[in-house]
Structure 1
Amino acid sequence: MKPTAKQVAHEAGVSIAAVSRAFSPGSSIDPLKRQRILQVAAQLGYSSPARRTAEVISAGTVTLVAGDLANPFYPLVLDTLAKALQAVGRQLLVYAIPPQADMDQLTPQILAARPSALVVTSASLTSGMANACRQHGIRVVLLNRIQRNVRVNAVACDNHAGGRDAALFLLGRGRRRIGFIGGISNTSTHRDRAEGFSEALRESGHSVLAEGNGEFTYRGSYGAVLSLLTAKNRPDALFCCNDIMALAAIDAARELGLSAPEDLSIVGFDDIPMAGWRSYRLTTIRQPITRMISEVVGLIQASNTVPLDETTTSILPGKLIVRGSA
């Protein structure tokens, strides 16, 4: 049987009430008496009810680190993940950090919460954070991104194939002056989508007419698209690295008196809810969010049977959704 507060009190020569106060931060108890009680408790292997409750809670907690909650795609991911974890008796703790921020600054907070797993999306995992989590037995899963420089689990859409699909679709609709609006260049989502897009164009004997950097934001894309569309040889089609940038492209085109798809075909990536709004009707590559989240939860649930050093990478196919913008 587990040791009780009564046994600790007997061995330490104090009352049961004193044992309770010793485990209550800020309670009034002589420091030397507290130290003696804690030493006896450690020797007997006693944990207070509050600490046992905290251990149970932390064992069922999953921490999500997200760096771009302003993008409507990630609140959708967060909502889907939270509901999937609740269905298996787990809770979600969320840390929001600025895009491209150093995750190492969060290490003490994450380790202090003692989660059973860490999910990282739209943020870059450092090797320091990965090593710290491994040392503390915390399973790490990258969601919607892949990092070759760290050995952790990853679940992502097939961004390369999605970029190819966008290019082939635009070529199939007779577009030849095709531009590209990229995101943040050192992320796998930007890199893989851009490479797949350019590769499909080259194989068809074409190339990207012009490029702009939208930094995965509405504001950044709006300015980049205005620059491309006011150039002498403006594109007749754009592939934008995510939907929020594609919506900005539609708005920028309207500002210049152009319409989609008559004057400019526009394709996005993600299929956020706004993409289906009648004012946008955005053609886009849909990410399989439900299946991606299912894979993530499966990896987390297997944490008791699969060694931490055994990692997997799941690449799931997206789907081209054709609407009115292209």
Structure 2
Amino acid sequence: MAKVTARIVAQEAGVSMAAVTRAFQPGSSLSDDKRRRVLQVAAKLGYKTPSGRTLGRIATGTISLVAGDLSNPFYPAVLEELSQRLHERGRKLVLHAIPPGGSIDLVMQQVIDYRADAAIVTSATMSSRLASECRRQNLPVVLFNRVQPDARMTAVTCDNYGGGRMVAEYLLARGRSRIGYVTGLRNTSTHLERARGFLDVLQENGVTPECTASGEFSYVRAKDAVRPLLDAASPPDALFCENDVMALAAIDSARELGIRVPEDLAIIGFDDIPQADWAAYRLTTVRQPVRRMVGETLELIELSLSGEAVDGTIRILPVSLIERNSG
């Protein structure tokens, strides 16, 4: 069978050979339309980049981690736990970082080229085309702390819905009545499930959210979004922030305005990152069982590599509310 070259891909996709090269480089100036066309043709023809063919010879025993928001301390903590557990099993972890504004499909194509034994994805949503290509290449993929509407995707996640319910029940039990919340990225399962659980409990108790703002899981964006809520004529007496980074931003905003936490304003987060326990914050938050989630993820990978059928398996692990000083 003739070797598929970059020239053949370029001719089939109707682009230059330089465009083929740039399509496989994160952050390159190639348009999204051209990149998508090149990747689709490359997958159809079975084209492998030279770097992919070289790496494929040395990638045995490795697990690829595809991650986006490494500025959130939750994910470096996951990375550290994964690395330690894989080392104990005689495997290596390779990080594939999605650049800001970059496409997960491009990174996943690199993972396929790398020929790792399996991939763990902690951010964004894979296209159905890439998911199918991973299956065609016999590359096990496990989504970590997220799910997506594909019945064949395998995932390990915490009980985001149950955690959202816990927060609402906790605030209502403490007499909070003007309750607001700060949302994450709207197209993510973590946001959708945490918000759904939280709002369901409020609705069941006849409570309408006092206010809402989008913090996009970012400290800077959350700080900008929260300040107008707290500076309003009738500010909330409680805020649920859908991750800890945004909750820390809310605490800092409250301090700048002279608002006492928790006396005037209760603030609850989600994740239980290491900074949540710092003396400066002592954040009340929902803890994700990271160690157990990592263990379940690696178990699913090992089962898949041994030939077990795990496609479509979703494991949802319980969370716990950690009471500190902010609630």
Report matched runs for 1:43-82 at 5 Å.
55=57, 57-82=58-83
Largest Rg, 1 or 2: 1
Report matched runs for 1:245-260 at 5 Å.
245-260=246-261
TM-score of the aligned structures, taking structure 1 as reference length = 0.81
What is the aligned partner in structure 1 of residue 89 from structure 2?
Answer: 88
CA separation of 1:155 and 1:99: change in aligned 2, threshold 3 A: farther
Cα distance, 1:205 vs structure 2? 1.5
When structure 1 is superposed on structure 2, of 173-182 and 128-137 the one drifting more is: 128-137
Q: Is the 8 A contact 2:304 2:310 kept in 1?
A: no
SS at match of 1:58: coil
Cα distance, 1:291 vs structure 2? 0.4
When structure 1 is superposed on structure 2, of 98-107 and 275-284 the one drifting more is: 98-107
What is the aligned partner in structure 1 of residue 109 from structure 2?
Answer: 108
Please give the per-residue CA displacement for 1:155-210, whole angstroms capped at 9, x wherever unaligned: 00000000000000011111000000000011000000000000011111212110
Please give the per-residue CA displacement for 1:239-294, whole angstroms capped at 9, x wherever unaligned: 00000000000000001011100110000000000000011000000000000000
1:154 matched to 2:155? The reply is yes
Report matched runs for 1:76-225 at 5 Å.
76-98=77-99, 101-149=102-150, 151-225=152-226
Partners in 1 of 2:268 and 2:311 — Cα distance?
Answer: 37
SS at match of 2:59: helix
Q: Is the 8 A contact 2:56 2:115 kept in 1?
A: no
The share of aligned pairs that are identical, in percent, is: 51
Matched AA of 2:200: E
Please give the per-residue CA displacement for 1:94-116, whole angstroms capped at 9, x wherever unaligned: 01114664212124321221011
What is the aligned partner in structure 2 of residue 227 from structure 1?
Answer: 228
Please give the per-residue CA displacement for 1:69-99, whole angstroms capped at 9, x wherever unaligned: 0000000000001111111111111011146
CA separation of 1:99 and 1:131: change in aligned 2, threshold 3 A: farther
Q: State the number of aligned residues.
A: 275
Q: Is the 8 A contact 1:127 1:150 kept in 2?
A: no
Partners in 2 of 1:288 and 1:208 — Cα distance?
Answer: 28
Partners in 1 of 2:94 and 2:306 — Cα distance?
Answer: 23
Q: Is the 8 A contact 1:282 1:324 kept in 2?
A: yes
Q: Is the 8 A contact 1:183 1:213 kept in 2?
A: yes
Partners in 1 of 2:157 and 2:250 — Cα distance?
Answer: 25
TM-score of the aligned structures, taking structure 2 as reference length = 0.81
What is the aligned partner in structure 2 of residue 300 from structure 1?
Answer: 301
SS at match of 2:191: helix
Matched AA of 1:92: L
CA separation of 1:196 and 1:140: change in aligned 2, threshold 3 A: same
Partners in 1 of 2:55 and 2:65 — Cα distance?
Answer: 22
Cα distance, 1:52 vs structure 2? 11
Partners in 2 of 1:283 and 1:108 — Cα distance?
Answer: 40
Q: Is the 8 A contact 2:145 2:156 kept in 1?
A: yes
Partners in 1 of 2:245 and 2:59 — Cα distance?
Answer: 35
Matched AA of 2:259: L
Q: Is the 8 A contact 2:214 2:222 kept in 1?
A: yes
Which residues of structure 2 form unaligned runs of 5+?
1-52
Cα distance, 1:309 vs structure 2? 6.5
Partners in 2 of 1:320 and 1:223 — Cα distance?
Answer: 27
Cα distance, 1:53 vs structure 2? 11
CA-based RMSD:
1.8
Cα distance, 1:122 vs structure 2? 2.0
Partners in 2 of 1:112 and 1:263 — Cα distance?
Answer: 54
Matched AA of 1:244: V
SS at match of 2:109: helix
CA separation of 1:126 and 1:186: change in aligned 2, threshold 3 A: same
1:285 matched to 2:264? The reply is no
Partners in 2 of 1:216 and 1:52 — Cα distance?
Answer: 37
Q: Is the 8 A contact 2:147 2:157 kept in 1?
A: yes
SS at match of 1:154: strand
Partners in 1 of 2:156 and 2:100 — Cα distance?
Answer: 20
